[in-house]
Amino acid sequence: MTITIKVEESNSDRISELSDPILHHIFSFLPFRQVVQTCVLSKRWEKTWQSSQVMEFDRTMFDRGSRYHYLYVNIELNRVLQRRAKELFSCLVRILQNRQCGDMISFKKLMIDMDLFNDPEFRTLLDQCICNAIGCNVKELKLKLNSFSSRLCNLPEVVLSSKSIEFLESKCCKLELSKSVIDLSSLRNLCLNRVYVDDHMIENLVVGCPLIEDLRLVSCEGFRSLELFGLSKLNGIKLIDNSDLRRVVIKTPNVSSLSIGGPTRPREIKLGFFRNLKKLILSCAFISDNWLHRQISKLPELEYLRLHKLYGLKSLKLSSPSLKMLLILECTDLVEINIGSPNLQFFDYQGDIISLSLNALSLTKINLHLCNHILDARWYAKYVEFLAKFYDFSEVLYLQSDMVENMIVTRELREILPSPLSTVKHLNLRLVTMSIHLIIAKLVDGLLWIAPHTKTVSIEYGNLDKTSFKFSFSYKKQVIYDGKTVNCCKSFPISCWQHCAEKVELEINHEYYRGGKNTKMYILKGAEFMEQIDAVCSIF
């Protein structure tokens, strides 16, 4: 890295004079396949490739362009892939072996994301590669091995006594211990997904990782009980869908994020007093009102609470002053919510219309997904009443709906009830149903009744290909129409939008799943803009 003479347009090979760390940095932007290709450029480059600090690859690099799913029917192609993978692994085994003999014993990251070929030779190479990476003091080891047989392969035992590993992620394998003891004294991050670990093993694992900061066990099998004590560095815990897990005891003092969920869930959850817990996620569990309230009372710093598919929970009362985000999703037994958290900023609710008492003056964003089965006048009345609860709070409201009809309150009700949300400035609707072209004007009309004088209305639908309509309204100041106040504006404190809307800007966006975007802008003027909306939306 000593360049002293600057030649105007040189023909000298300056790239090869860059230091290894810079060339490795350049490698980090390149597809792995091309990084490997550089090894034939010159001896300098061969050495640079062999000393790579990061080796990340997945099966897509062996088959350019072909799609994942049909590979399994194409035996010929599968054989080619298998040969290529074996070539790479034998090469890696040798390179990493040589690094151990030389002085290049530092290795930042090895990430393997591929299918496990049912070939003993391949498995041996894979094991050797992992062992040699450990020998090179690898810091980050990620093994995402997709196995389609029920026989999981064993993770080489040497991994569990590596003092260098800081980050270990493993998918689809089995952890078994014959004689060596678990000693992961540098491990900070452990993520196991679809891994078989028995009770004895999990106990050892917890003891063997004294510095662990983040622990994730997802869809694992084998262990029935998990006890976490001490572990003063442990900050994040995630336990999701561990099918044999029956009992969880967590008494680690410094956890700030905790997530426990199903579909299969533990029957017994014992939590300590978490003075630093900021984020709590509970899903797919059967819990009682008392249990939840008792837990929350032990969490003075709780900022984020997500309750998803909790059964047995009937009444929820929250007054935690630290709470900023609250998400209550599909808790079907819930009949009543009482929120008195003064600092709550975001509220997300999905479920039936239930009794709601809200005293949260800091709310700035609300997300509602109301489910309903029968659309009758009673439902609409309850719906309007429910929406009106948010009158004092947010200027931004997100609604989500399975059916277009939900959003269009019947004419009869509109005449007797006041608009529930005349303070909302931005109303956003996400629809689950597909084509709504023909009734878009009717929908806008319905939304404008819910939130008259809103500045924007946006409607979005579609899952893969997305379409959105975004309306921006400008209003006339006066509510005088044709020289006199019109009837529809007299009866309510808020004037009818139809007679004061002046200009409507409409932006229609199509976003395609396979990439690409299509945007059109329209400006609609005058009182008849509703008819214009339908005309524009139907040609789109």
Partner 1 sequence: MSTAATADASSSGDTTEGSVRLLTLQSEDGEVFEVKETIATQSVTIKGMVDDDCATSTIPVCNVTGRTLAMVIEWWNKHEIGAVSNEKELKEWESQFDTIDDKSDRDDVYDLLMAANYLNIPTLLDCCTSAVAEAIKGKSTDEMREFFDIKSDFDEKEEDALRKENQWAFEN
Q: Which residues bind partner 1 (CB under 8 A)?
A: 1-4, 6-16, 18-19, 22, 25-31, 33-34, 36-46, 62, 64, 83-85, 87-88, 91
Contact between 252 and 229 (Cβ < 8 Å): yes
Whichever of 9 and 482 has its CB closer to partner 1, that residue is: 9
CB of 61 to partner 1, least distance (A): 8
Whichever of 31 and 263 has its CB closer to partner 1, that residue is: 31
> Could you write out the three-class secondary structure of 106-128?
CEEEEEEEEECCCCHHHHHHHHH
User: Partners of 283 in the beta sheet?
Assistant: 308
Q: How many CB atoms lie within 10 A of CB 278?
A: 17
Whichever of 33 and 163 has its CB closer to partner 1, that residue is: 33
Whichever of 17 and 392 has its CB closer to partner 1, that residue is: 17
Whichever of 11 and 463 has its CB closer to partner 1, that residue is: 11
CB of 512 to partner 1, least distance (A): 23
CB of 44 to partner 1, least distance (A): 8
Contact between 467 and 461 (Cβ < 8 Å): yes
What letter would DSSP give residue 390? T
Whichever of 13 and 227 has its CB closer to partner 1, that residue is: 13
Cis amide bond preceding 418, omega within 30: no
Q: How many CB atoms lie within 10 A of CB 15?
A: 12
Whichever of 12 and 146 has its CB closer to partner 1, that residue is: 12
What's the N-to-C CA distance of the chain in angstroms?
59
d(CA 338, CA 207): 42
Q: How far is CA 179 from CA 175, 300, 421, in A?
A: 13, 44, 67
Q: How far is CA 285 from CA 259, 270, 271, 418, 483, in A?
A: 12, 13, 15, 40, 62
CB of 60 to partner 1, least distance (A): 13
d(CA 24, CA 104): 14
Q: How far is CA 282 from CA 292, 304, 328, 335, 340, in A?
A: 10, 11, 10, 18, 21
CB of 90 to partner 1, least distance (A): 8
CB of 2 to partner 1, least distance (A): 7
CB of 112 to partner 1, least distance (A): 15
Whichever of 32 and 469 has its CB closer to partner 1, that residue is: 32
CB of 34 to partner 1, least distance (A): 7
Q: Where are the beta strands (DSSP E) in 275-395?
A: 279-283, 304-308, 315-318, 325-329, 336-339, 346-351, 355-358, 365-370
CB of 19 to partner 1, least distance (A): 7
Q: How many CB atoms lie within 10 A of CB 137?
A: 17
Q: Tell me the H-state helices in 256-325.
A: 289-297
Whichever of 116 and 160 has its CB closer to partner 1, that residue is: 116
CB of 68 to partner 1, least distance (A): 18
Whichever of 32 and 386 has its CB closer to partner 1, that residue is: 32
Q: How far is CA 78 from CA 73, 134, 147, 148, in A?
A: 8, 29, 15, 14
d(CA 308, CA 332): 10
Q: Which amino acid, 421? A: L
What letter would DSSP give residue 498? G
Whichever of 433 and 519 has its CB closer to partner 1, that residue is: 519
User: Partners of 397 in the beta sheet?
Assistant: 366, 427
CB of 32 to partner 1, least distance (A): 9
